[in-house]
């Protein structure tokens, strides 16, 4: 994976980093925590301009997110989930958790979701299914992605040859955030079930 990303950036420079990030949005198993620090490392070594790396990776994030938004809007929930179930390394449970998170938080989920592993790619799908206004989706996606991308590109730039240390920190961060997000979704579902149960009991009286 590292060799392929390096080759793409060596060939195309900062646009290559942008293409890699766009693909990461479309295929979540491609990790942004590898692409972005590598882009920063490449900028530190003079292989690309740092500002160009930041701009192109953010543009790639928006393009990839827009493609998934389009998939959700065109296919709807059921067909999108059915297709995802056939894709390797993509878990339907991740899509369902992301969907529940979007239903609960709405537009905030699009912004903050860009800074949550797994959710950052998949959050575009329920946004498309629900036909979230496109201008708002693009602005929130660009802002959230810019924060995430800048953090990791600058980390790779600062760490230089030790850029791989970023992945260790991200692994810990990802586990904590996913646990919190999972607990939040479970609490939301439980609250809805309790409300519907109370409503049914009142209706029977």
Mind listing the pLDDT tens digit for each residue in 20-76?
A: 999 887 775 567 777 888 888 888 888 889 999 999 999 999 999 999 899 888 888
Higher pLDDT, 126 or 102: 126
Q: Give a three-class secondary structure readout of the chain.
A: CHHHHHHHHHHHCHHHHHHHHHHHHHCCCCCHHHHHHHHHHHHHCCCCCHHHHHHHHHHHHHHHHHHHHHHHHHHHHHHHHHHHHHCCCCCHHHHHHHHHHHHHHCHHHHHHHCCCCCHHHHCHHHHHHCCCCHHHHHHHHHHHHHHHHHHHHHHHHHHHHHCCHHHHHHHHHHHHHHHHHHHHHHHHHHHHHHHHHHHHHHHHC
Mind listing the pLDDT tens digit for each residue in 77-119?
A: 777 777 766 766 566 666 777 777 677 777 888 888 888 777 7
Higher pLDDT, 88 or 125: 125
* Per-residue pLDDT, 24: 82
Mind listing the pLDDT tens digit for each residue in 130-160?
A: 888 999 999 999 999 999 888 888 888 887 7
Give the alpha-carbon dihedral of 166, 162, 1, 113, to 10 degrees: 20
* Per-residue pLDDT, 143: 92
The maximal CA–CA distance of the chain, rounded, in angstroms, is 74
* Per-residue pLDDT, 60: 93
User: Cβ distance 103 to 161 under 8 Å?
Assistant: no
* Per-residue pLDDT, 89: 59
């Amino acid at each position: 994976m590292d060799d392929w990303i390096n080759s793409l950036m060596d060939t195309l420079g900062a646009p290559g980093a942008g293409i890699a990030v766009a693909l990461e949005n479309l295929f979540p198993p491609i990790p942004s925590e590898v692409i972005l620090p590598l882009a920063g490392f490449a900028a530190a070594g003079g292989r690309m301009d740092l500002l160009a790396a930041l701009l192109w990776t953010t543009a790639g994030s928006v393009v990839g997110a827009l493609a998934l938004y389009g998939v959700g809007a065109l296919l709807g929930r059921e067909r999108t989930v059915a297709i995802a179930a056939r894709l390797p390394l993509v878990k339907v449970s991740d899509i369902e958790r992301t969907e529940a998170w979007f239903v609960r938080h709405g537009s905030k989920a699009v912004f903050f979701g860009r800074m949550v592993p797994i959710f950052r790619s998949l959050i575009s799908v329920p946004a498309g299914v629900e036909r979230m206004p496109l201008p708002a989706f693009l602005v929130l996606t660009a802002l959230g992605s810019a924060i995430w991308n800048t953090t990791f590109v600058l980390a790779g730039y600062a760490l230089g040859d030790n850029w791989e240390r970023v992945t260790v920190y991200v692994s810990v961060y990802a586990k904590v955030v996913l646990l919190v997000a999972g607990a939040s979704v479970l609490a939301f579902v439980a609250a809805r079930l309790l409300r519907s149960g109370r409503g049914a009991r009142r209706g029977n009286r």
